[in-house]
Structure 1
Amino acid sequence: MFKSGRYSGWLRPISYGIDLFFIHFFAFEFFGTPFPYFNYIVFLTVAWPLLSLRSGFYEIYRFTHLAKIMSLIGRQGVIFVLIVFSFFGFYNELSTSASSIFKYILLVMGCITIVKLGVFFLLKKYRLHLGGNVRKVVIIGLNQKTDLLRKFFTTNPVYGYKLYKTFDLKGPDKVSIEECMDYILEEEIDEVYSSVAEIGNKDLIKLIDFVDNNLKILKFLPDNKEIYSKKLDFTYYGVLPILSLRKIPMDEPFNKFIKRSFDIVLSLLVIIGLLSWLTPLLGLWIKLESKGPVFFKQKRNGLDYKEFYCYKFRSMKPNPMAHLHQIKKGDERVTKVGRIIRKTSIDELPQFINVLKGEMSVVGPRPHMVSHTHMYAERIDKFMVRHFIKPGITGLAQISGFRGEVESESHIINRVKYDIFYLENWSLFLDLKIVFQTIFNALRGEDKAY
């Protein structure tokens, strides 16, 4: 736990202590003497660490991405709100205003966030400039992927990995697994990275036994077999280990609650604050220019491949081919008002009604026309994976340059790749980032918005 090169054994208890200090100190400052301060200390000192273990709030490592940290902070903030209000719900005789409680929560979480990010970035600077908090590593196996790992270690000193050697097990200068193990002991190596493709089963068993008996960390690089490149989920059925092909964060009840709450709040803000007055004005303009309904509805495939009607402001003249042919640049079916609302993405706003109904989400894979979905499902590998989650008004693929007309097969393949990455790596912070980037792109104007 307190081994050379690994300081997380000290950092985690210190982090707990600092966070609990902010929680208790500001509670005394905000709520005064009539407040049952001792009971609050006991309750929070027990509840905060226990729920932090469940949320993974302190599971931050040198390779953790900033987006992951922000997501953990947001999740812990929600948990902290529930903890504090549950305490005041029990002591309902206290005359503490909700605004004071929220101010206290914001101040505490603000201080915790500053300290957490401060420690994260200070450790990076410490590793980069002073060479501290370093882990000694070796790589076993020589191929394209281990070479990429070697370049990562050598070009990213902020992560604190010092590569000592790369062992070749099959080439002209090959070494035995026993020589690798001797070197690891001599140089007091902390972590061993081994290629799955380059090591035989017998040597693999020897290596696993060796690292277990000598308190070393062993990690594997996926070979060229596609299954190893997946984000596999490891669980037990009794004592039998089971690997699942992927773990979808939105399948967890807490994450589902967070995402649905985000969808409801944002859709209500748009419907009440924008669509309530924009719809009559825009509807009149659409009606004056061409005959037909104000709204255009079209069947799309959503969660679990179920069909639903997707709503938009009508931007084209009514035509029988609207459900079959995708819009193209310079399409004659588009009206004058249609060009404006499509360029600014205003035509998509009625889909917030779909979001409120639960058929769509604010962020997710963009739904396709039913005819196109059938076509892509037959032609594009893993296209159907997108339907494990609700479709969205905007998505990671859309802000990454793959929105609008599908011009080639590579376009839809890349769109699917981004959609799968999103469903496997969802976080509230990622949703917020996509929403803000979508708004920025709409204000700036996009070439493919036609």
Structure 2
Amino acid sequence: MHRFAALIALAMRLGDLFVLFAAASIAYGYRFGHFELSLEYQQVVARGALLTLLVFGSSSVYRSWRGLSLSLEAFHVAALWCGVFALGVAYNLVFKVTGANSRLWWGVWFLAATTGSVAMRLALRGAAAWVRTRGLDLRTAVVVGSGSDASRIVHTFDHNRWAGIDVHGWFSTPVDQGQIKGSPHLGSIDALARYVADHRINQVWIALPMSAQDQINQILAALDQCTADIKLVPDLFGIQLLNQSVDQVAGLPVINLRASPLDGNARLLKAIEDRVLALLILIMIAPLLAAIAIAVKLSSPGPVLFRQKRHGLDGKIIKVWKFRTMHVHAEAAGQVTQATRDDARITPLGRILRRSSADELPQFFNVLRGSMSIVGPRPHAVAHNDHYREVVDNYMQRHRVKPGITGWAQVNGLRGETDTVAKMAARVEYDLYYLQNWSLVFDLRIVALTICKGFLGRNAY
């Protein structure tokens, strides 16, 4: 359920606008005895809506509040409403329209808007707390370390179930000297990566002194192939020395060392981009899809579509659709042989489809289903992932986003067979660059480059 955080943020944006309009009507009814605003008051409310979008949108009030203090958020919301109404009053002063509106209406409008906005968040928090205390919408976590900070993390989340973080236990390091009472000891840091992978842990909390840099580096290296978020809980002296800003979760200062580049509003924006573009493209290429399907069926015996298991977001298994380009054949269990130049398994029609990348057009249905994106790291066969994750640094970090039909690596010529570790490492390097620099404009640029030069390639066979 936590993946719908972006939708909740959007609902809160719309809710604040609704509160603004409702509060204006309530204030008007209180002042004038009826709720139908006159034209001049409608104009004031419209300006207030624009100011709300500007002021609230430029703040952090719509980010995830999991674990944040309600009183702090209420103060933040009240301060933002003060900013909105201060700008509205300033507008009236500059353009000398102060006499056109009732001061009582302004005051009631401000109080009602602030109260309604805080009440909306209180209700949302209550609903979330009710859900989380019943075991839903939880994020799993483990703690590394057993000092006072580590103990505080475990006990804080145990006593604040509304935060929605379920701590499985803790891992010890050579610098630890104690135990965390009431929490399972899961082993040493040598067992950390395996446990995180096997139990699909969402977060790893490192609670070590800043002087334990060697252990922190060892932990990061061990988790290279894991997609869990990694958070560091530093001591106060470390914070001062580093002069770093921190987030707070349930009152705990944390530094995000690794996190998904697509979260919150970015996740929602990319989802809308994918669905809209995929639907438009499928409508345009429907006749082409039908023609290719008929040609594949007539070219050789076997199904039209080929479904292959690949790793998707967070390393989960998905089934990627392609037009069949090979004669039907059997692979050894657990083995996937990459296509090579002059591969005898490929049909004559299949060579054309592969060269033009037309065999990948059914993946737009994967995009509509939500298992893929139009732009992202290309998905590799599961067997290839299992091999390269052991020999290419940060290989699994590319699975922090959904795999794509096209990607930054592909438009830069890194397509086709990856018969050497160096080729795969180069592809991963481009994928990681995409993750670090994602934007909607970057996505559209990659789509444009794919249309111009990405469909045809000498390495695609």
Q: TM-score, normalised by structure 1?
A: 0.50
